[in-house]
């Protein structure tokens, strides 16, 4: 209980943020109540729009179905012309008397072409005699993309079905579907009302669907004939092959059903009577289209919300710019000083008089603090330089070179050429490390001279156990490169390659790659182990800890860092394994380096 009392007391004494206190007041006192009222209004308007959308959809569906009924009635009228105009029946009687097939074929084909070739609702018209169904008399409407292949399709898949269907058809008209095609079938009878021929019109299903496409929210449609699927949907409408029993029962009572789904679609069913039969239309509706009107409402309320927010935003921005940002600048500057960045200044001063005075005082204090630390630092540097100069004065590079020259002269006097050449190589290496001319860049030829001096000493140390070969593009010897970038890599390769029991081999290659970069490769016959690969990756990383690394390791890291500083992160040192299980160290330099004059 005592701990709880202390927590409550601490909570009461806690200092809250003025900015967030103002934000809470605006949100809970004005913004949220008004937002709740908008949502209630939005719910009411949405219900009215939904009801209006359903009424509009049902009205457009009724008009579309009436248009479909008119189209089918026109097709039936066109089929009746074959009976009423007597052309086919009269030529049929002549054919029975004289048996002239050619004349009968010409007259019937001409009649079919005259009546149906240019009928927009028909694709093909096919007539055959009941007593000779193998002989087809036909025409097709090329304007509806019909062709002779449609006649062949009829002869193979439809003719036998229409012949069987015509036996119970009498003088009526019916519809037939086959593999997504829709046909109107009608008997032609003689004076005694006996069927002597069958006329079949393939209807243009696209033309029939166009009337249904006028329904608001139309996505797809399917037609059913007496409860069975007659014309499937064009885009695979989610409709069953036969209408469910509950749908059929309700259609018989009302002739219309609307099923609303919460998903992406809804269904509208309509029924009509034609040809003495029942035709049902199942239309799939796209809910995103049906309720697209809601987008306008959402936009309206979104704009209303946008106009509600400015007051909160303006108040928030005022406190943020006038108070929060200046205070944050002081906090960041204070943290920088705390981390040792003495002299940090606040660049963007506050507009208000009070905060401006505080920031100006902070800048003056930080500046004075930096002056004091700089004074102490300069004193320490001066003391350190004095100690270094004292050490350098004891043994300087000039003294060492003179000493080596005396030793070399004594070796020559004793005719000891081997010692003399080693002293000359050592003198060359000393010249490279001291850099008395203070040159940042020199030619590749001079760089390779230092490498040759080092390799001469190594060859004297290992004898025949060590072998070095070169493949150098001599046209590149004048290219200017940083000092001492190849010798540390060669030294590392020698130490790595000579660890093996077999003969140590080193190969130096110098060339320009396809991208124009200068490549210096040093390959040794040492095997690169996983442990060494991990060490190399760690050594060449930006966050490597090098306090305990060997001198050679520090040398190759130094080369990599220098190349990256001079030429950019795409250059540097890359150590990989070769196909012969050797180790290849590659120095990559930018192609825009100059050449020696």
Between the alpha carbon of residue 174 and those of residues 79, 82, 444, the distances in Å are: 11, 16, 97
Domains assigned to the chain:
17-291 (3.30.450.20), 294-390 (no CATH), 463-589 (3.30.565.10)
Give the pLDDT confidence of 28-60 residue by residue, as tens digits.
766 677 777 767 766 666 667 677 777 777 788
pLDDT band of residue 238 (cuts 50, 70, 90) is low
For the chain, how big is the Rg over CA atoms in Å?
49
Q: Looking at residue 564, what is its pLDDT? A: 84
Give the pLDDT confidence of 400-413 residue by residue, as tens digits.
555 555 555 555 56
Q: Rounded to whole angstroms, how far apart are CA atoms 34 and 37?
A: 5
Residue 509: pLDDT above 90? Answer: yes
Percent over 70 (pLDDT), the chain: 71
Q: Rounded to whole angstroms, how far apart are CA atoms 377 and 360?
A: 26
Q: Rounded to whole angstroms, how far apart are CA atoms 442 and 113?
A: 96
The label of the residue with tokens 């210096």 reads 520
Give the pLDDT confidence of 142-170 residue by residue, as tens digits.
888 889 999 999 999 999 999 898 888 88
Q: Rounded to whole angstroms, how far apart are CA atoms 207 and 201?
A: 14
Within 10 angstroms of residue 595's Cβ, the number of other Cβ atoms is: 12
Within 10 angstroms of residue 133's Cβ, the number of other Cβ atoms is: 16
538 or 356: whose pLDDT is higher? 538
Residue 109: pLDDT above 80? Answer: yes
Percent over 90 (pLDDT), the chain: 13
Please provide the average confidence, as pLDDT, over all residues in the chain: 76
Between the alpha carbon of residue 505 and those of residues 294, 425, 524, the distances in Å are: 80, 21, 6
Helix (H) / strand (E) containing 471 = strand 466-472
Return contacts of 154-161, CB within 8 angstroms, 24+ apart.
154/124, 154/126, 154/200, 154/202, 158/183, 158/200, 159/126, 159/128, 159/133, 160/133
Q: Looking at residue 151, what is its pLDDT? A: 92
Highest mean pLDDT among 13-27, 214-228, 355-369: 214-228
Residue 171: pLDDT above 50? Answer: yes
Residue 453: pLDDT above 60? Answer: yes
Q: Looking at residue 4, what is its pLDDT? A: 43
Cβ-proximal residues to 180 (8 Å cutoff; 6+ apart), any chain: 205, 231, 232
pLDDT (mean) for 377-385:
52
* CB-based burial, 177-196: b 16+ in 10 Å, e otherwise: beeebbbbbbbbeeeeeebb
310 or 424: whose pLDDT is higher? 310
User: CB burial class (10 A; 0-12, 13-18, 19+) of residue 54?
Assistant: middle
CB distance 468 to 431 below 8 Å: no
pLDDT band of residue 437 (cuts 50, 70, 90) is low
Q: Report the range of poorest mean pLDDT among 14-18, 365-369, 381-385.
A: 381-385
3-class DSSP string for 266-278: EEEEEEEEECCEE
CB distance 227 to 242 below 8 Å: yes
């Amino acid at each position: 209980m005592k701990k709880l009392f202390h927590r409550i007391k601490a909570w009461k004494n806690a200092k809250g943020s003025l900015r967030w206190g103002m934000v809470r007041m605006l949100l809970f006192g004005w913004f949220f109540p008004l937002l709740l009222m908008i949502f209630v209004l939005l719910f009411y308007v949405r219900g009215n729009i939904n009801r209006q959308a359903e009424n509009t959809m049902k009205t457009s569906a009724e008009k579309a179905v009436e248009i479909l009924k008119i189209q089918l009635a026109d097709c039936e009228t066109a089929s009746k012309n074959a009976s009423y105009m007597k052309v086919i029946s009269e030529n049929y009687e002549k054919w029975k008397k004289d048996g002239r097939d050619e004349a009968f074929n010409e007259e019937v084909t001409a009649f079919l072409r005259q009546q149906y070739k240019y009928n927009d609702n028909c694709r093909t018209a096919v007539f055959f005699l009941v007593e000779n169904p193998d002989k087809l008399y036909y025409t097709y409407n090329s304007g509806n993309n019909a062709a002779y292949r449609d006649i062949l399709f009829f002869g193979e898949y439809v003719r036998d079905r229409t012949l069987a269907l015509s036996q119970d058809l009498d003088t009526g008209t019916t519809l037939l579907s086959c593999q997504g095609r829709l046909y109107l079938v009608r008997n032609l009878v003689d004076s005694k009302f006996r069927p002597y021929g069958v006329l079949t019109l393939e209807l243009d299903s696209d033309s029939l669907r166009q009337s249904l496409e006028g329904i608001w929210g139309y996505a797809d449609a399917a037609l059913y004939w007496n409860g069975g699927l007659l014309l499937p949907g064009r885009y695979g409408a989610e409709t069953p092959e036969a209408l469910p029993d509950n749908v059929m029962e309700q259609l018989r009572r009302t002739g219309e059903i609307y099923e609303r789904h919460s998903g992406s679609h809804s269904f509208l069913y309509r029924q009509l009577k034609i040809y003495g039969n029942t035709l049902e239309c199942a239309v799939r509706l796209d809910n995103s289209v049906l309720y697209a009107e809601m987008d306008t409402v959402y936009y309206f309320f979104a704009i209303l919300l946008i106009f509600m927010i400015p007051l909160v935003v303006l108040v928030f921005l005022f406190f943020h710019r006038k108070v929060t940002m200046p205070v944050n600048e002081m906090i960041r500057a204070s943290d920088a000083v705390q981390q040792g960045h003495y002299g940090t200044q606040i660049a963007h001063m506050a507009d208000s008089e009070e905060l401006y005075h505080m920031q100006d005082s902070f800048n003056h204090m930080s500046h004075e603090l930096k002056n004091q630390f700089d004074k102490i630092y300069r004193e320490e540097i001066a003391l350190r330089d004095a100690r270094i100069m004292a050490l350098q004065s004891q043994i300087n590079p000039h003294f060492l070179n003179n000493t080596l020259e005396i030793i070399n002269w004594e070796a020559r006097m004793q005719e000891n050429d081997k010692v003399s050449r080693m002293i000359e190589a050592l003198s060359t290496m000393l010249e490279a490390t001291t850099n008395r001319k203070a040159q940042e860049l020199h030619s590749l030829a001079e760089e390779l001279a230092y490498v040759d001096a080092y390799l001469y000493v190594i060859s004297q140390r290992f004898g025949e156990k060590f072998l070095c070969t070169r493949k150098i593009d001599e046209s590149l010897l004048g290219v200017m490169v940083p000092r001492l970038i190849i010798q540390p890599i060669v030294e590392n390769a020698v130490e790595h390659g000579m660890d093996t029991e077999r003969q140590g081999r080193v190969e130096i290659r110098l060339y320009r790659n396809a991208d124009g970069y200068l490549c210096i490769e040093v390959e040794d016959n040492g095997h690169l182990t996983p442990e060494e690969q991990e060490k190399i990756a760690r050594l060449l990383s930006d966050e490597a800890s090098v306090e305990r690394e060997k001198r050679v390791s520090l040398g190759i890291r130094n080369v990599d860092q220098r190349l990256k500083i001079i030429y950019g992160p795409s250059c540097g040192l890359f150590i990989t394994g070769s196909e012969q299980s050797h180790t290849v160290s590659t120095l990559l330099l930018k192609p825009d380096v100059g050449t020696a004059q």
